[in-house]
Structure 1
């Protein structure tokens, strides 16, 4: 079957990579065979070819960016590594392997006294998180010092009618800075959006209600501000939806109005339950 959602900002995906590459080689194992096709600047260089029979499935896409179009085709291992780690956190159970096989990236160990040839070690990382965004919060908080509460608060919810799902993981640490990171279809929404607005509104409203119910705030006291409440908070908000509306100059702000209502309701209910139990 197909995918319920896809991670992208402009709906063009691999077609742009294909159009801007001196060569793209695609290999697909499906329907009992291995299939291949090559492209140059977006145009097939040969017909789709069927090869040997196989029971395996999978897709491999290799591209060579066109040096006449791009000033540089040198890719940063660190940039790719950070993004792939983020993707692994956001897709619970997914394994992503990144290997840099370029000669320039190989660490050279000096030849020993016997005059052996120099040995090369390939630069490689692998990311896999069964805990998903709970592991993401633990990873971020591992550098933040003391924790206010030992366990990460996490919640998941889905509205099948709207093809909308939500995952949130959060934990307060002893620091003073807020670290709330939001994502829509695995895309980091740097400018926030309706999912963040719903989260912040529910959090501020609920914590103030809790503080008043427990007499932590007296009648004459002002409400706690959102900034007060989010001090020391590390949180990951991840929504997946079929038709995301991205706004802002860099298309990194989620604009779907139905998301705010959904997130606000779910966060309020789940967090209220957690507070009652803890």
Structure 2
């Protein structure tokens, strides 16, 4: 075994000094995609047969079906009858944010929406930096608050205040992850990791894009040893709901 380890180190170091890896630079994206797509396929194969609410497989997506998923989550988890802390990462026009505010009328619930409101901070999928730029939505419910700026600039201070001033620590947290990007999704998950408890809900809006939300979730789960169950999915796992188990 000692010889094998030494041989492995020698070959790796030799390849590094030869810079032969640079030759693969044009193929980095396809290698990364194929790896993540393989991981996604294995994950779907493992999960698809035991999810209580799923439309897999459908030949065409109907984006508005995500409302059906949210309705199922609220009903099955009893989220319409108890206080929740709803944190949405990626607000855009505010459609889903407003929907959740209306769906849960508990006076002790709180709703927080995070977004640059200046569009994507980097290219994503088929969209360029700056896409999905919206004005801050109008909110006539005092329970709702929008936080403008990059997550990396705003979430630290928010969570510091949230930790010190939380008025209902037993409220179920609902994280709506609609930031699209791998970097933004992984950052949001990492920052929220210390707050996640048994029964908290995570909603992903573009989950089955291999290099972004799925990759972020997969890396997060492996890094933090997260235990979870899939509550439901629609549009072939494009929108997916997950329940934390701790």
TM-score tier by shorter-chain length is under 0.3
Return the TM-score normalized by structure 1.
0.24
Higher fraction of strand: 1
Higher fraction of helix: 2
Return the TM-score normalized by structure 2.
0.26
